[in-house]
Amino acid sequence: MTQSTELAVDLQVACEDESDLPSETQVHQWALQALETAGFKEHSAEVTIRIVDEMEIVQLNSEFRHKNKPTNVLSFPFEQPIGMTLPLLGDIVVCKQVMQNESVEQDKALFDHWAHLIVHGTLHLLGFDHIDEAEAEEMEALEVQILNNLGIDDPYRDHQ
């Protein structure tokens, strides 16, 4: 029998328009499914998920990625101090406007796209990346599997 992970989610809403946001329960379910499907072995974990406006995501993207433009999601893995063991995974920041625009442009259900970005961000906290083609294929396949477990269609179906 597999031991499940206890996940604490700190959901922060830092955008003016608070309509069409996922609940803390939904965000928790999406992140937990990502952890469990990716084989996360720890007993407990904590993650902060912050939903922001374009101004904040541009500032963060500029400061940490040197790209002065909005993006859909940023992940900031927690860097564990030597000799300390904390259950902190890190922070995920999602830009509501970019996410909503992508949802419309890509003809994806709004909450399916929310789920995809939370799953994507969670996998980044676990060390997954998409810098090269092999890493991208591995990460995308895992995302598809996680989303399928949640009853959500392949988000890459129209991009292949």
The predicted pLDDT at position 10 comes to: 96
CATH superfamily of 9-149: Metalloproteases ("zincins"), catalytic domain (3.40.390.30)
- Say how far apart CA 72 and CA 91 lie, in whole Å: 14
> Residue holding tokens 């904390």?
86
13 within 8 A of 56, measured Cβ to Cβ: no
Sole residue written with tokens 């030597």: 82
1-31 tens-digit pLDDT: 345 789 999 999 999 999 999 999 999 999 9
Specify the pTM.
0.93
Q: Could you state, in order of their start, the residue ranges of all structural domains in the chain?
A: 9-149
Rounded distance between C-alpha atoms, residue 159 and residue 136, angstroms: 13
User: How long is the chain?
Assistant: 160
Convert the pLDDT of each residue in 112-156 to its tens digit: 999 999 999 999 999 999 888 899 899 999 999 999 999 999 998
Residue 98 has pLDDT above 50, yes or no: yes
The one-letter amino acid at 2: T
Q: How many CB atoms lie within 10 A of CB 28?
A: 18
Helix, strand or coil, per DSSP, at residue 32: helix
Q: Which residues pair with 7 in a beta bridge?
A: 45
